[in-house]
Structures are given as C-alpha cells and as structure tokens.
Amino acid sequence: MVQTENLSKVFPDKKTVKTAVKDVSFTARPGEIFGLLGVNGAGKTTTLRMLSTVIAPTGGRAFVAGFDVVKSPTDVRRSIGFLSNSTALYGRLTPRETLNYFGKLYGLRDAKLRGRVEFVIETLRLQEFLDRPCDRLSTGQKQRTSIGRAILHDPPVMFFDEPTAGLDVITSQTVMEFIEGARSAGKTVIFSTHIMSEAERLCDRIAIIDNGELRSVRTLVDLLAETQAPNLERAFLSMVGYKPEVEVFA
C-alpha cells in the first residue's frame, strides 16, 4: 500500500520559493491502479520522486509498502519498481546484461536470478534483441527492457510516470497491458499521466492534481457524476477551472 499524509515539496529559488506539491493526501491499495492526472508541471512527477525517495519531502509523511520514505529509504527502494518514458539504460550493455546487472544490485543470486531473468525475457518478449547493445535498440525495445529492469525483483509497488509518452501505438499497448497485468497480480500501481484515454482505460480511482494540489480523488463514474461531464477530459477541465482563451465564431 502507498499512503501520503499532507505531503509537500518546496523548491527554494534566489528570490522566492516554488511550492511544487502542497498537502497531498491519498491512499493507494494493493490490486488497484491509482491515477495521478494532471498537466505537465502539475506536481505528478515530484510526488512520485518523493515516494521513490529520489527527493525528500519538505513536509508531511509518506509510506510505501509499510516503510516511511524518510526513515527507511532503502526498504522503500527494495519494494518498488519505477518506470518513466525517460528511464535511462546503459548504452553499451545488452538487455541480457542489463537484467543480470540490476538483478545482482537487487540482491538476486544464482538460480533465483536466472529464474527471474528468464521470466522477464519471456513475459516481455525480449528474445529478438536480447544480445543487442541498448544504444542500438528502438524506443519501444528500450522501454520493454526498462520494464524488465523495473519488475525484475518482483516488487509489490509499481510507479509509472507517463510511461507511454513518445511511444508508438503498438508499444503503448504493450505497456498498458503490462500495467493491467500488474493490477491483476495484486500490485499497488500508481500511474501518472496527462493522457485521458489511458486514465479512462486503466485507473480504478483518479486523483486530479493541479498546481501541486489535489482537486479530487474519485472513481471515473463518480467524477463524471460530480462534474456532469460526458467524458474524463471534460471532467478534468472542469475540476481545474479551465476556460477557453479563444472565442469561436459561427
């Protein structure tokens, strides 16, 4: 489970401070895809970086798989898989070498390591490019390798930060099918996106974040009912107070 309590992050500047996340509170449960929906710069990535211990919160608390992100960062890192559209790979390593290298970093050894590597190869269909250097892979092949790296240690919690941005439709389908499979396997999944169709398809509950603050946490059905909107895109625009800047003339 993932739980936040008034989670906040402030970045100091030379003349002022920027509040990237302000008093965000939510709970994401096992077997649930919890969506973080917002425009670029809304605070989604900052929230995930705090939950994954990449950066420390300025205020509030957060727990991942029962571990405090500030007091027990190593335990948190062992409990998560993190995937974004910008997850980097070592260009000179092949996918096979990448999986074995990160498997050892996760503490996997011998038969267990071999078993997990083979599972990832079969699940993500990496065979055709398994021994090709990563800097010679296509964008989709790199993303599938990155997924493999993220799930190799079978973590109970998964973070996905706009993982389909820039991908073609086939690779995007592969990523979304994997996320659906993670939910079916009982993982706690937090999925950050600004693509409405993906949120409609995947998310059991949707948290709308705007200017660092949560505007709503609802199921899609409840959100549509609350805003009386015909679809998620219109509901989202209503929740963030969007008004057209250009008049349309007949």
Question: Do 206 and 196 form a contact (C-beta atoms < 8 A)?
Answer: no
Instruction: Identify the pLDDT of residue 241.
Output: 84
- 40 pLDDT band, cuts 50/70/90, is confident
Parse the chain into domains and list their residue ranges. 2-79+155-239, 87-149
Question: Do 186 and 180 form a contact (C-beta atoms < 8 A)?
Answer: no
Instruction: Identify the pLDDT of residue 59.
Output: 96
Q: How many CB atoms lie within 10 A of CB 137?
A: 18
Q: Tell me which residue of 146, 168, 169 sits closest to 159, measured CA to CA.
A: 146
**Paired residues of 59 in beta bridges:** 8
- 249 pLDDT band, cuts 50/70/90, is low
**Paired residues of 67 in beta bridges:** 64
Helices first, then strands: H and E counts in the chain: 9, 10
Instruction: Identify the pLDDT of residue 211.
Output: 93
- 190 pLDDT band, cuts 50/70/90, is very high
37 Cβ contact partners less than 8 Å away, ≥ 6 residues apart: 44, 192, 193, 194, 196, 199, 203, 206, 207, 208, 209, 232, 236
- 247 pLDDT band, cuts 50/70/90, is low
Cα gap 38→183, rounded to integer Å: 22
CATH dotted code for 2-79+155-239:
3.40.50.300
- Does this model's pTM top 0.85? My answer is yes
134 Cβ contact partners less than 8 Å away, ≥ 6 residues apart: 89, 90, 91, 92, 93, 94, 95, 98, 142, 145
Q: Tell me which residue of 16, 25, 44, 11 sits closest to 212, measured CA to CA.
A: 44
Question: Do 72 and 102 form a contact (C-beta atoms < 8 A)?
Answer: no
74, containing H or E segment = helix 73-78
Q: Tell me which residue of 6, 38, 34, 37 sits closest to 22, measured CA to CA.
A: 6
Instruction: Identify the pLDDT of residue 158.
Output: 96
